[in-house]
Amino acid sequence: MNVSLFRCHGLFLPFIKHCPPYINISHTNRRCVITHRRMRRDFSTKASQQDSLDMSKFPVERIRNFSIIAHIDHGKSTLADRLLEMTGAIATTGNNKQVLDKLQVERERGITVKAQTASLFYQHEGQTYLLNLIDTPGHVDFSYEVSRSISACQGVLLIVDANQGIQAQTVANFYLAFEAQLTIIPVINKIDLKNADPERVEKQIEKVFDIPKEECIRISAKLGTNVDQVLQEVVKRIPPPSAGVDEPFKALVFDSTFDHYRGVVASVALFGGRVSRGDKIVSAYLGKTYEVNELGVLRPDEHPTETLYAGQVGYVIAGMKEVKEAQIGDTLYLQKQPVEALPGFKPAKPMVFAGMYPVDQSEYSALHSAVEKLTLNDSSVSVQRDSSLALGAGWRLGFLGLLHMEVFNQRLEQEYNASVIITAPTVPYKAVLSSAKLIKEHGTETITIINPAQFPERSQVTEFLEPMVMGTIIAPDDFTGKIMSLCQSRRGVQKNMFYIDDHRVIMKYIFPLNEIVVDFYDQLKSMSSGYASFDYEDAGYETAELIKIDFLLNGRPVEELTTIVHKERAYSSGKAMCERLQESIPRQMFEIAIQAAVGSKIIARETIKAYRKNVLAKCYGGDITRKMKLLKKQAEGKKKMRRIGNIDVPKDAFINVLKRK
Ligand code: GDP
Ligand code: MG
């Protein structure tokens, strides 16, 4: 790695890469299954009309594997639409919008959470090239997707918005590609915008990434301007994969999804040899043997082929029944020709943990099956059974970030019609135990605590440790002062700061993960009128004086609200959380006392007054419709509530309680 590049720009590169997020989801919902069925019908007609694709037409030297990376909203998915249209993979209808974003959450939120592959056939100087494009998500929670996509590629298109310029995730994604030694083609998008300033962006790219501005391609993905040049440069600048068709078959599993009808669908990149239908293959991880039932390429729908060849990217279905069998990062090889496994990936590392419970215990088994199905397609979610006095049986889940958690929750609700309570998220703390009894109990001196309710007593530990991150903030310099005080209030320590052009600064801060995980980005965005961007990566653990705050509703401790805070924050956090609980719990028929306690000491209290009268009592006999309406509204409201003791608590209270104003 070219370390001098970082030095020459004074960029402090956090070398400890957190194993970034990855969410692997698809095809489990009813909608997707329907799509699949339709797709398969399509294939059957297609297959009878024309034979399956002959992929032997594409020798390694005419293959280019590349990925599109960028900050969120800079136009990756829109560029992918144009590339698909121009190569005939989809019809040019004038209204293709982010066609690779297939999930309902992706379409609603306008974000990509799942990397997608498409094989394009491109005519260049009288030859047909096979271009394998991987569209990736931009948000930090999903950068695990990016790092996996990159491992199947030799080059990337680094998209930068001509108006916004380089943003925090542009920097993060650049380094993922740079460290993997890929060819990087900078593409400046949205040049059609009135305020586009491609020259300024080119200067930024030169300054921050050391890429000469002549290498930038200026395009409008929306209008299609210069998009053909992008394809030409992909062919010219990105090298073909170095894989020989005469070598033994060796494929990297870089993604996998689960289909209820066909089992695991593994996305593979062939690093050598060839594989055909009927071949006996082995997964290096488990050593199990399978027969290839179906294989093909994605354009972006599945197109079956007889054989895939070295350098190509496609999918393989081989009777694997569980996603575990197609481990991401695993190597597949022919039973008769064993090979050494490829290096693979580090497993995804959860950054936040939260309890998940059904709103109604009677829905436990339905939710259990929904969680199981969804995690089949998202192996980056870690699942442990858990139970609590107040909420009954549930799970403790680990996510790659808060957006990941919200997306998971939304998918459970939308695709499985499940209603869940997610408790206050926590980061994984550590404690070095001093009590010999506890060390013996745990079988280790240092324990990781993912449930605040299980936080050990101060007297039983030598020290507590909290996870840290290196944050990158990019913002116009008008906001520098405000941002610095926000960072300080979050216990951030500045490590570096420099200008990337006349008006924009990049700031590097070390933060406790706990301080930024819930609402930091929202605050940063609102104080900078949306101009600041933020990204972070793992920076290990540091000693911290931590303390546990318990919360009581009418004297009864509610374990799910238990929170760990820095000692200095105990009073202010306890008070603020009581106030927020007071705001989010509706008035009930009796008075409710909300208390925060450290050990046996009450440190804050708020009261919710009782209703004076039942609202229904106001409806006199005649006004039946109004009465019905009220009753219906109350019943609907109840669904969003969870009864703790005799108190109805809204299900989002557990998260809202952590959000600072
Ligand atoms: P992604 O998050 O990087 O995948 O970005 P999208 O492709 O979803 O695009 C984000 C937004 O920018 C969408 O509203 C697009 O319509 C818009 N957009 C993308 N490319 C262009 C462009 O070249 N010009 C203009 N004016 N808007 C664009
Ligand atoms: Mg996108």
CA gap 497, 494 in Å, rounded: 8
Structural domains in the chain? Answer: 3-50 (no CATH), 55-237 (3.40.50.300), 250-334 (2.40.30.10), 352-422 (3.30.70.870), 429-544 (3.30.70.240), 547-659 (3.30.70.2570)
Query: What does the angle CA 489 – CA 493 – CA 496 come to, to the nearest 5 degrees?
Result: 130
One-letter-per-residue 3-state SS of 550-602: EEEECCEECHHHCEEEEHHHHHHHHHHHHHHHHHHCCCCCCCEEEEEEECCEE
**Strand-strand pairing, 420-422 and 446-449:** unpaired
Q: Cα 264 to the chain's mean position, in Å?
A: 21
Task: Give CA–CA dist 114/633, Å, rounded.
Answer: 37
pLDDT, mean over the chain: 83
Smallest-distance ligand from the CA of 158: 1
Q: Point out the ligand nearest to the CA of residue 78.
A: 1
Q: Is 478 exposed, middle or buried (0-12, 13-18, 19+ CB in 10 A)?
A: exposed
pLDDT-derived band of residue 424, with 50, 70 and 90 as boundaries?
confident
**222, 223, 227: which to mutate for ligand 1, most atoms within 8 A of CB?**
222
Tens digits of residue pLDDT in 545-593: 999 999 999 999 988 889 999 998 899 999 999 999 999 899 888 999 9
pLDDT at 332 over 70: yes
Neighbour-count burial for 104-116, b at 16+ CB within 10 Å, e otherwise: ebbeebebbbbbb
Whether the ω angle into residue 476 lies within 30 degrees of 0, i.e. cis, is no
Using pLDDT thresholds of 50, 70 and 90, give the confidence band for residue 30.
very low
Q: Could you say which DSSP state residue 644 is in?
A: E
Q: How many CA within 13 A on the CB side of residue 213?
A: 9
Looking up tokens 């009677």 gives 362
Can you tell me whether residue 474 is helix, strand or coil?
strand
CA atoms of 70 and 298, how far apart (whole Å): 22
Per-residue pLDDT, averaged over 267-284, amounts to: 94
Q: Structure tokens of 339? A: 């090979």
CA-to-CA distance for 237 and 242, rounded, in angstroms? 15
* Higher-pLDDT residue of 636, 34: 636
What 3-state DSSP class applies to 155? strand
Can you tell me which residue has the tokens 């990105």? 238
Q: Which of 98-112, 317-331, 342-356, 421-435 has the highest mean pLDDT?
A: 421-435
State yes or no: pLDDT of 2 exceeds 50. no
**Residues 75-91: pLDDT tens digits?**
988 999 999 999 987 87
Q: Which two tokens stand for residue 130?
A: 């096979």
CA distances for 455 relative to 215, 518, 659, angstroms: 54, 20, 22
Q: How confident is the model at residue 621 (pLDDT cuts 50, 70, 90)?
A: low
Question: What pLDDT shows up at residue 38?
Answer: 30
Taking a C-beta distance cutoff of 8 angstroms, is the pair 120, 66 a contact?
A: no
Q: How far apart are CA 147 and CA 140, in angstroms?
A: 11
Residue 48: pLDDT over 70: no
- Separation of CA 38 and ligand 2 centre (Å): 24
Q: HSE (CB half, 13 Å, CA atoms) of 442?
A: 19
The reply to whether ligand 1 has any atom less than 6 angstroms from the CB of 98 is yes
Distance 363 CA to ligand 2 centre (A): 34
**Nearest in space to 274 (alpha carbons), one of 306, 308, 304:** 308
Q: Using CA atoms, how far apart are residues 303 and 67, in angstroms rounded to an integer?
A: 20
Q: Is 190 left (phi over 0), alpha (psi -120 to 50) or beta?
A: left
Q: Kindly state if the Cβ of 96 falls inside 6 Å of ligand 1.
A: no
Least confident of 345-349, 382-386, 604-608: 345-349
Any ligand 1 atom below 6 A from CB of 109: no
Report the C-alpha gap between 302 and 295 in whole angstroms. 9
Ligand 2 centroid to 218 CA: how many Å?
Answer: 19
* Ligand 1 pocket check for 14: Cβ under 6 Å: no
Ligand 1 proximity of 112 Cβ (cutoff 6 Å): yes
Give whole-number Cα distances, 633 to 1, 108, 639, in Å.
Answer: 61, 26, 10
pLDDT tops 60 at residue 18 = no
CB 72 less than 6 A from any atom of ligand 1: yes
pLDDT given for residue 449 in this prediction: 94
3-state secondary structure of 396: strand
- Three-state SS annotation for 189-245: ECCCCCCCCHHHHHHHHHHHHCCCHHHCEECECCCCECHHHHHHHHHHHCCCCCCCC
Residue 632, pLDDT score: 65
Q: Is the pLDDT of residue 208 over 90?
A: yes
Residue 258: how many other CB atoms lie within 10 Å: 25
Helix axes 143-151, 168-179, angle to 10 degrees: 30
